[in-house]
Structure 1
Amino acid sequence: MFVYGYIRDYYNSNYLKNKNMKNYIYIILGVSYVTYYFLNQENSYFLYIRENVAYGDVLLSYFNALVGFFAVLGTMNLVNKVLEKLFIRLSKKTETELDDLVGEFIIKFINLAKYIFALYVVFYLAKTPVYIDILVEKATSVLIIIIFLSLFTSFVNLVFQKELILKSKLKAVSRTLLPFINKVTVIFIWIIGTITIIGNLGYDVSALIAGAGIGGLAVALAAQKSLTNVFGAITILLNKPFKIGDYVAINGHFGVVKEIGLSYLTLKDKMGHQIMIPNETIISTSIENLSVRENRRTDFSIGLVYGTTQAKMKKGVKILEDILEKYVEDKTASGYRVNFDMFGDFSLNINATYFSLHNKVYKDYIKQKEDINLSIKEQFEKAGLDMAFPTQELIIKKEDKKKNL
C-alpha cells in the first residue's frame, strides 16, 4: 500500500497531466503484460511456433529477449520516477543534505544499471551458446560492481566535502585531516571492490592475497619513495606543524597550504603558482609556519639630506612616532620604535620598526603599510623635510702653472 500510494500520487500529479506521459505509462504496463504472456510456456501460440517453425525455439527466445529488454527499461524508468518523487518529498522535510545525496546516489545508480540489467535479461532469455552466457554473466557482474563503486566513491566525496567540511563547524585541524581520510576511504573502497571483482571472475582470492604477501617485499622496495611520502603525510597529520590555509615557508618556498595529499603537499604562492613538495622533503627539512606568529615585523629607514638641522631631525623622529602611534594596533613601547640611527654616506638615517597585528590576511597588512607610507610622505612634505638620495660631489682642484720665460 505504501508503494501504491506513491504510484497513485505520481500518476495523478500535475507532471502527468500531459497526455503523452500517461500514454507512456500505458505502454510500460502493456509491454510488461505482453512479456508475461509470451514467456508463459503454456501459451498455445508459443507451443505452435516452437513445434512447427524451423529454429522456432531460438526465434521465440530472441523475441522474448527483445520484449524483456523494453519491459525492463520501462519498469525501471517508472521505478526511477517514483523514487525521484519520493526523495523530493523527503528532502523537503529535512534540513540536512545527506538524504539528498543518498537519493541522488540511488537514482544515478538505477539510471546507469538499468541498461546493463536489460542487456543481461536479453542474453538470459535468448538461446545462446553456454560460453557466451558465462561471459555475459561475468561481464554484467563486473560492470555492475564498477558502476556501484564509481557512484559510491562519488557519494563519499560529496559527503566529506558538503556535509562534513562546508556545512559543519569543524576545527581547522579537522578540516585538514578530513581530505586525507576521504582519499584513504576511497582507496579502501576500490581495493575491496577489486577483490570482489576478482572473486566474481572465478579466481581464488585467498591464493592471490597469499601471493601478494610473498611479493610484498619486492613491491615495497620498488615503491620505497611512494611509501616514504605516504608515511610523511601521516607524520604531518599527526604532528600538525601546519593546517590547510596556513602561510608557510618550506625549503625556500613560500605559500598558502591548499592540500595535504598522500604524496605531495600543495602550496599556492603570491603569484598564484601551484607548488608541489614531496612529503618526504617536508619531514626532513625545517618548516616556518608564518600564520602562527602573533604579529608581523616591519623595518624601514628614511634618509634626510645632510643639510637638515638638528631641530628638523627631531621633528622627523616625532612625525614618525605620531604616524605609527596612529596606525599600529599595539600602542605599548614594544609595538613600535623610532630613532635617529646613523650618519650614512649621503644621508642622515632615521630607522623605524613596528609590529603589525595583520599577520593573517596579507592584503590587510599591505594596505596598512601603504597608509603609513602615504602619511609619512605627506607629513614630511608639510614639514619641509627633504629625503636624500645617492649623490656624489666632485671637487676639481686647479693648479696655476707658471710659464718659464
Structure 2
Amino acid sequence: MEDFLLREFYRNTIREYLIALGTFVGCVVLLKLFSLLVISRLQQLAEKTENTLDDFLVAFLSKTIMPVLYLVAFYFSSHQLNLHALNPRVFRIGYAIVITILSVRGFLSVIHYLIIKHATRNEGENAALREKQVKGFLTPFDLVAWTISLIFLLDNLGYNVSTLITGLGVSGIAIAIGAQAVLGDFFAYFVIFFDRPFNLGDYIEVDKEAGVIEYIGFKSTRLRTLTGDQLIVSNKDLTNARLHNYKKLKRRRVLFKLGVTYQTSALQLEAIPKIVEGIVRSVKGLTFDRGYFIKFSDSSLDFEFAYYCESPDLAPHIASLHEVNLKIFKTFAEQGIQFAYPTQTVYIQK
C-alpha cells in the first residue's frame, strides 16, 4: 500500500494527489455548510424586510463571494502539488479567466443594483416596468464592460491587442458617423434617465401637444393624448424642448375674470368680491386667494379672481371649476347682477 501511495505521476506522488484532493473536498464541504446554515438564514431574514439592500448583499455573497472562495480553496489545494510538470501556464490562464469573469460579474451586479435603485425610486406602481426598461438599457453597458475585460485579459496573457483596439476604434467611428441621429436620441435617453424631468405616468405638455407618458425607450418616448391616440416624440426633441410636467403640481392655481354691465350699482360692485369669495370657499378642496375690481372696459366692469385647487389632478380641478361657475351664475341671477357682453349704444340726435 505504501509503495502504491509513493508512485509518482508528473512529479507528484499519489499521496500528494490524495492530500490535495482531500483538502479541496474538505474546503468545499465547509463552504457548502456555510452556504446552507448561514447564507440560507440570511436570505430568510432578508425576505422579511422591505429594504432591498439586504437582498442584494445576500445575493452578492451567494453569487460572487462564494465562487471566489471556491477558487481560493482550489488554489490552496493545488499549490500543495508540484505544478511545473502539469503545465503551470494552463493553470495561470485558467485562474486569469475565472478571476476576470468573477470580477466583472461582481462589478456589474453592484452597478446594476445602484442604477436600478436610482431609476425605480418614487415610481410606485410603475417600478416593475421601469426596472424592465432599465435592464434593457444596461445590456449595451454590459457588452462594453465584457469587451473591455476581454481586451485586458488578452493583454495580461501576453497577446498583442493593439490591432484589436485599433479595429474597434475605427469601427466605432464609422458607426457613430452613420448613426448620428440614433445616437443623439440614445444619449438623450441617458439625460432623461439621470435628470428625470418626467416619469412613467406623468402628464406633460410639449410643443402644444400633451399626454401621459406610457413608455420611455432608447430612441423615443410615447405619450397617450387626451383624444386616445399615441404620440411618439424622439428623446432628443424632448430634451431640447420646453415642457410642462403637470404631475409635479402640488396644487393648481386658477385665475379668471368676470365682467358685469355698467348698469350695476355701486353696492352690487362692492358685494361681488365677497359673493365670489364665499362661493369659492364653499367648494371642498378650494382655497380662495384674491378678488378685485380691476378695470373699466368698453362694455363691462371687470373683476379678477384667483383661487387654488388643492388637488393636482385634472378631474377634481375641472369638477370644482364647473361647480364654481354654476354657483356664480345662479347667485348673480338671484342678486340681479347682469353679466356684460360686447355691446354698442348708438345715440341719434335730431
- Deviation (angstroms), 1:188: 8.9
1:178 aligns with 2:134: no
SS for the counterpart of 1:231 is helix
SS for the counterpart of 2:205 is strand
> Structure 1, unaligned stretches of length 5 or more?
1-168, 192-205, 399-405
SS for the counterpart of 1:317 is helix
Residues matched between the structures, number: 214
> Quick one: which of 203, 224, 232 aligns to 1:268?
224
In structure 1, C-alpha distance between the alignment counterparts of 2:306 and 2:202, rounded to whole Å: 25
In structure 1, C-alpha distance between the alignment counterparts of 2:136 and 2:185, rounded to whole Å: 14
> Structure 2, unaligned stretches of length 5 or more?
1-121, 145-160
SS for the counterpart of 2:346 is coil
**Aligned position for 1:254:** 210
1:355 aligns with 2:308: yes
In structure 1, C-alpha distance between the alignment counterparts of 2:219 and 2:237, rounded to whole Å: 10
Structure 1 residues 330, 393: closer, same or farther in 2, change over 3 A?
Answer: closer
**Aligned position for 1:242:** 198
> Taking structure 1 as the reference length, what is the TM-score of the superposition?
0.47
- Deviation (angstroms), 1:288: 2.4
CA offsets, 1:20-62, max 9 Å, x none? xxxxxxxxxxxxxxxxxxxxxxxxxxxxxxxxxxxxxxxxxxx
Structure 1 residues 346, 267: closer, same or farther in 2, change over 3 A?
Answer: same
Letter of the 1:268 counterpart: R
Asked if the contact 1:321/1:338 (under 8 Å) is kept, the reply is yes
Asked if the contact 2:203/2:210 (under 8 Å) is kept, the reply is yes
In structure 1, C-alpha distance between the alignment counterparts of 2:141 and 2:259, rounded to whole Å: 64
SS for the counterpart of 1:351 is strand
SS for the counterpart of 2:247 is coil
- Deviation (angstroms), 1:337: 1.1
Which sits farther off after the overlay, 250-259 or 314-323? 250-259
> Among the aligned pairs, what percent are the same residue?
26
- Deviation (angstroms), 1:241: 1.2
In structure 2, C-alpha distance between the alignment counterparts of 1:380 and 1:327, rounded to whole Å: 17
Higher Cα Rg, which structure: 1
CA offsets, 1:134-168, max 9 Å, x none? xxxxxxxxxxxxxxxxxxxxxxxxxxxxxxxxxxx
Structure 1 residues 176, 229: closer, same or farther in 2, change over 3 A?
Answer: farther
In structure 2, C-alpha distance between the alignment counterparts of 1:327 and 1:394, rounded to whole Å: 42
> Quick one: which of 390, 400, 403 aligns to 2:342?
390
In structure 1, C-alpha distance between the alignment counterparts of 2:139 and 2:173, rounded to whole Å: 24
CA offsets, 1:326-364, max 9 Å, x none? 126354xxx4211112111111112111111221x2122
Q: How does 1:124-273 map to 2 (within 5 A)?
A: 171=124, 174=127, 177-184=130-137, 214-273=170-229
Structure 1 residues 284, 172: closer, same or farther in 2, change over 3 A?
Answer: farther
SS for the counterpart of 1:272 is coil
- Deviation (angstroms), 1:273: 2.8
Asked if the contact 2:250/2:311 (under 8 Å) is kept, the reply is no
Which sits farther off after the overlay, 269-278 or 227-236? 269-278
1:340 aligns with 2:293: yes
Letter of the 2:340 counterpart: A
Structure 1 residues 190, 218: closer, same or farther in 2, change over 3 A?
Answer: closer
CA offsets, 1:70-90, max 9 Å, x none? xxxxxxxxxxxxxxxxxxxxx
Which sits farther off after the overlay, 170-179 or 340-349? 170-179
In structure 2, C-alpha distance between the alignment counterparts of 1:380 and 1:304, rounded to whole Å: 10
